[in-house]
Every structure is written in structure tokens, then in C-alpha cells.
Structure 1
């Protein structure tokens, strides 16, 4: 018979060099106390503790403590499965692969992610209750596309649902939703919100993985986009849009979209517009070899996107755009570990401290646009401070001096803590 609720577990990490997620300079000889799921003390004076008081102590002397990493644009289900898996694989295998990849992502130090397409709300719920290990998830649920748009994965000979055809396989498993016209777009947005989406993902232009659409296509009319924005806003959240081109970005911004996903083909005036309107640019530091396309047409689109990376980052810095970081790895499970390499690559465009801020507190600021759809409001994400969620990494080395350390988490991340639980400890 229980004598009442158990006392929260207590962990002290001692004598670390602390990067708290927001400060420009780290602090040395810091102790951090965790009780239960939250940080309760950060001190340059030794905190009382010890095994006799039920405290687990970790000696962080000579090591670097930082908040857990975040990724603002993942496709956990897409990361974990190939196109063949989606088309022919059993549904159970798709979800099993996704759960396995969620744990691997956590072991790479990613304690929070924003998923931009896939049926992740059930997996989020299982992770949150402790059934499986994985990062905190902000799910978009199915990415919403027009017929022949970026997320239309039906075959060319399939009859569109608008004309009486059946939904595609990816729609059956809630990876995508094709919807044309204002009424269907409204229904599609509300469907994702009903299923647990924290934000809505629309596809407004072509992409490298698309089967039908060139990069320069404009997808969804202004009325359709505005309808999605209103439906999301009625739930207290926002719309994020896949789009690369200046014309597509301008249409999205005019309709009230809050987050531009990608934007690699934008011109300077359009990047400046994002700063003026306070719209987020959720970028990925793409290199051409991050994705592999045997189809020459898609390979050419991928190369064009990658070529835009350096220039758009430079303009974003010049104009002070609110910029988030993500990966958007998709349909190539063998490439999933590149997430860590792409995180370190952010240092090609920003100082190391700017990069670490974006990977932690910066992304978290974007996630908070979900308002009350954010189920993690009981603590602060992306920082190490009193009252914050206890999500952190102990690094063997100083990423502020050498950002490449985060590219090899197996070697360099000695301790990973998520939700106050030690999920990795190699000390």
C-alpha cells in the first residue's frame, strides 16, 4: 500500500562550464540541481546534496553543459521509412520504424523537435507518458497539399479525390492530406487539429521530392491559404508553409502565415519582407549531398535549392530575420544521422554562440507560437534556468570553441538528460 506520492528524483550536475541557451558567454564552476522534470537551481556556489539525501550526483568537472538540441523541421516518420516502405510496407512497420528513430534522435541529443508531416500525435503521447523514449514532439500531423502539389503522393494515373477517386496510401496513414478549394482546406486543417496538431503545415510550392511540380509553381490560392490561417488561428495556433520562391513566400506572408519553411530561392527583398513582418524563416543548411535522387529532374531541383543556402542565410543575418534551424531529411533512413552533421554545419553561417542559441532557445521561441496547443507549457524549453524543463547535454569538450563536436554525439555527448531522466551516461 502506497504511503503517498513519491518524492521527485533529484540530480546535481557539479562543476560544469554552463551555456544556458541565451547568454553570449558561458559560466564556469556551476552546479545545476534537477528535481523531478524541472531545473530548480543554477548556482556558482556548491549546492547541498549527497547520496544520503537521495541525490544522484554527476561530476561535470571539465565538461560543458548545454540545453538539449532541437530541430524545427523533422519528419520522424519520413526519416525512419523509405518511399517503398510508405507504398508497400505494413502500417505497423511504419510506426515501429518511427518509434525506433525517435529513440535514436534522442540519443543524438535532440530533446525537442517540431514534426512537419506525419501521424506523430499518437507517438508523442506514448513518449510523453514514458512508454517509449524519444524527444518532445510538436506534431503538424498530415502536411496539407493541393492536387499535384508538393505533398500529393498519388500516382499520375490515379483519379483525384475531387473527381471521385480514392485517397492515396500516404493519406490513408495520415502522412499527407490533399485538399482543394476553401471548404476542403478548412476541413483538412480542422482534421489535423482534431488529431492533435500543434501547428498546421501547408505546401505552397514545388520541392525536390515532389513527383509533379517544378520549383517555380505557386500552390494554393490566396483565399485557400487565408482560410487555413483563419482555421489555425481560431485554435490559437499558426500555419507554417513549405515554399522556396519569392512569389510563393510573398503570397504566404500576405495571407498571414507565421513560418516559412525553406525559402532557399528567395531574393533579398523577400528576405527583408520577412524581417519587416516578423515572419519566421525556418531554414535548413542544405548541401547537395544531403539528399540523393536517381531521377535527374529531382536531382537538378535539389542542386538548385542547395545553391541558394549561403545567400539566403547571409540576407537573413543582414536584415535580422527571426531564423530557426531544421533538417528536413526525408525518405532516406540511412541519412538520418546527418541531422547531427547539419547541426554543426550551422557554424558555416553563424558564430558558434549564435548557432547554439538557434539550436536551443531560438527554435523554442518558434515552437511557443503554438500557444495553448503547446502541451509543454509547464516549463521553459531550450534553456537551463530555474523552472525550465530538465533537458540537457553534458559535452566532452566546448562546442563554443569547436562546434563540430555536436556532429559526433556518440563520442562527445557523455550525458543526455530529458525530462529529468538520465537517458545516457557514459561517465
Structure 2
């Protein structure tokens, strides 16, 4: 059997989707008018009650409490349900979320085919946009954008860039030392990660990601939980190396974000010009203040020792790091609130399909800190403030994450009021009766 490679993967996916196109997708033959809906617009606490919303092609063309007429299209009576923007996840791993076990042991073919199936599941959970935080997702994004397969909009970082011994270096000690002109690891060859040391190598790997179509760049700026070699407390990359990546990204009109848990690593990244942080569970007061002063965003995850905790061997290096990391979760959320940081929600699910399926349930956990309307705002318009930092590299230029005239028609019709009961979003199969992305209805259980 011929082995799948990145070059022939798109063709393979095209064959796969010819047998698996979502039967629920309904292309609009004309305008769609939602009547009798209460609108959460993605920004404001108050619902727009008894509203009507017109969708023409892939855009919202009217939002009104006055009657609207639809000519040559269709009318959907919302029955007093809640119409809201599609949900978003600012830290998702398309290639890893639905693979069971060791993600780095899978070949490119399995990664992409499982990711394609997982993309439809993501959309059916009501997540119409995701920010992909590392991996060769460009073919997957292409088949979704071309309408060959159902899935969310993807803002892609491309390969995760790591220093030697960093969070994306999964080589074993027996694999080193290696020649300066070393061969690529299998994961590097597939475009999942890029190990780069020194300014020159960092510049090359950043430029390669941008050449592939990355909307932004991700560096591993500090220790991680799953990685085998790096302690959690270390900062990774020198200020000079980080600044080199930031300069190239800015030349392309976009930005660099860093994987960093600790105050030390985040401050190191900010000195290098980074203005976006992933995780940050171990920040302190000084770092939060610095983030506010520099307009540095943070994408946090509700990591706890609960039913969604990552199962790690008791007493292992990784389990010790996990416990240290989650001990700061409550403090990080409190500091993000205190300093009014630009805060985004993400899940970071990897290697656990059952956890990926709880994407909405994880979002609902933010009610520990926020009112329901604030939770929904974070996962709609507020996440999009981070997404839009891609500037001219934004693959979907235009307004999104909101229900207003001119915005993309990424919409959910919810059976109930999630502003009163945020747990509705934890059961999308039951409670999301219509799911629309880009003006196309992918789920409709009320007609």
C-alpha cells in the first residue's frame, strides 16, 4: 500500500470525503430569515428579544425587532429560542484532539484522516472557528474551506517551534548529541513540530510556516507537562531568538504566541516582543501587570484535578508538573480579571477523544469565574479579538463572533436560554437545534 505523504494527502482526503460528506448540510438556495428569536449578539448582556435575523449568502444582512420579508428564500421560526454566534476555541489541536494515546506515534495519513472526522464533530458541537495551536493542518483547512468536508474555520499556526530540549522536543536522551546538520525527526518531516536553535534556524522555521499559510506563529516559550525533558519552571528561547521570530512575523503582518505557564517564561517572551500567551496558569501579580501594560493577551484553559484531568502515571515527572500547573489555575483567572487582560478560552485537548467531546462542558466551567453571558462573550467576540491579531494573514477577513449586520453567518439556535443556564452548551446534541457556518446549515432538528 502506498504511504500517504503531505503531497498526496489532499487527494486522499478528497476520496475519503466523497464517502463521508455530512448529510445534514443544507445549502441555501436564497436568503434565510430567522424569525421569533431572542438574540445574544456576542457582546452585550441584554438579549435582543423577539428579533428577526436575515442571512444572505454567507453574511448576516439584517437584525431587527421589526418584521422582515424574505423573497425567494426560506423562513425558519425560532420559536422563542436563543440565536447566538458560533462558539470558538482559541487553543485547539486538530491533529491531536481525536487521536487516542501517543499523538507523536501516528503517521501523517492517520493524523489527517482522524482529524477530518474530528473536524465535523467539532462543528457539530457548535464550535464554528478554532485557533489551531500546532501541526500540519493546512490540507485539512483546505478541504474544509473548499466545502469538501464539514468543519470549523481554522486559524493555523503550523509546526510548533521548539528549542532543543523544549516542550516540542520528544527525542530521548539516547538520541543526542546529534550533528549540527542532523536529519529531521519524523514529526518534523510531517510538519508537526520544528526544532530550531539559534537565530538563523528560528528565522528559517518561522518563514517556512508563513510560506505554508500560517495565520500566526507559535513558539514553545517555557516548560510543558507532557514533554519528557523540560522542567516546568524553565524559560525557553533567548530574548534574541524570540525577537527574531517576532520580527519575521511582524514583517508578514501577524504575530507570535508562546506556550508558557510561568511568570519567568512569560516575562522573557514579552522582552522579546511577544504579545500573546498560551496557558499562563502560573503567572503572578507583577507579570499580570506587565501583560496589561503591553496589551499582551492570554488564552487560558480551565485545568483542574477533576473529571477532565489528564491521566498521568502517579508520581511521574509529568504528573508532578501537572499538579504544579493546575495549582495556579484559580489565581491566573483571578489576575486576568483583576487586570482586565484580553482573555481567551481554549481547551488544549490532546490524545483523549472523550475529553475533546466535552469541549462545551469545559467552556461551561468558566462560570466558576464569570456570569453566563460573559462566558459566551469570551467564547465568541472576545476570542475573535485574539484571532483578528493575524491582521492581513487572517484567512477569513471580516466580522465574526457577533450577530450584527455584515458579520459572517456563523450561528447557533439554542433550545433554551444559555444566559440563564450555561450548562445548555455542555450538551450540544440536545440543545443546539440549528448549527450554521458561513451561511450553510449543518444541523437542523426543528424542520
TM-score by length of 2: 0.91
Tell me which residue corresponds to 1:334: 354
Native 8 Å contact 1:9 1:55 kept in 2? yes
Q: Deviations over 1:100-128 (max 9, x none)?
A: 11100000000001000011122111111
Match of 2:417 in 1: 398
The 5 A counterparts of 1:205-220 are 205-220=222-237
Contact 1:264 1:306 in 2 (8 A): yes
| C-alpha separation in 2, matches of 1:55 and 1:254 | 54
Q: Which of residues 93, 96, 100 is equivalent to 1:78?
A: 96
Q: Is the CA contact (8 Å cut-off) linking 2:29 and 2:73 kept in structure 1?
A: no
Contact 2:96 2:103 in 1 (8 A): no
Tell me by how many angstroms 1:277 deviates.
Answer: 1.1
8 Å CA contact 2:50–2:65 kept in 1: the answer is yes
Q: Give 2:373's aligned residue.
A: 353
* Candidates 322, 327, 341, aligned match of 1:307: 327
Match of 1:281 in 2: 298
How far apart are residue 61 of structure 1 and its match?
1.6
Compare 230-239 and 152-161 and name the one that shifted more.
Answer: 152-161
Which stretch shifts more, 289-298 or 60-69? 289-298
Structure 1 residue runs of 5 or longer lacking an equivalent are: 1-5
Match of 1:170 among 187, 194, 219: 187
SS in 2 for 1:363: helix
Cα separation, 2, equivalents of 1:75 and 1:345: 20
Asked if 1:271 corresponds to 2:288, the answer is yes
The root-mean-square deviation of aligned C-alpha atoms, in Å, is 1.5
Deviation at 1:27, TM superposition (A): 1.0
Name the CA distance, whole Å, in 2 between partners of 1:59 and 1:160.
66
State how far apart, in whole Å, the 2-side matches of 1:402 and 1:301 are.
Answer: 34
1:60 aligns with 2:78: yes
Q: What is the 5 A alignment of 1:193-204?
A: 193-204=210-221
The DSSP-based 3-state class of the residue aligned with 1:76 is: coil
Which range moves more in the overlay, 325-334 or 162-171? 162-171
Instruction: Name the residue aligned to 1:24.
Output: 45
- Partner in structure 2 of residue 92 of structure 1: 109
SS at structure 2 position matched to 1:134: coil
- The answer as to whether partners of 2:165 and 2:229 remain within 8 angstroms in 1 is yes
CA separation in 1, counterparts of 2:408 and 2:133? Answer: 23
Displacement of 1:256 in angstroms is 1.0
Structure 2 equivalent of residue 3 of structure 1: none
- The answer for unaligned runs of 5 or more in structure 2 is 1-26
Deviates more, 1:396-405 or 1:327-336: 327-336
Does the residue aligned with 2:53 lie in a helix, a strand or coil?
Answer: strand
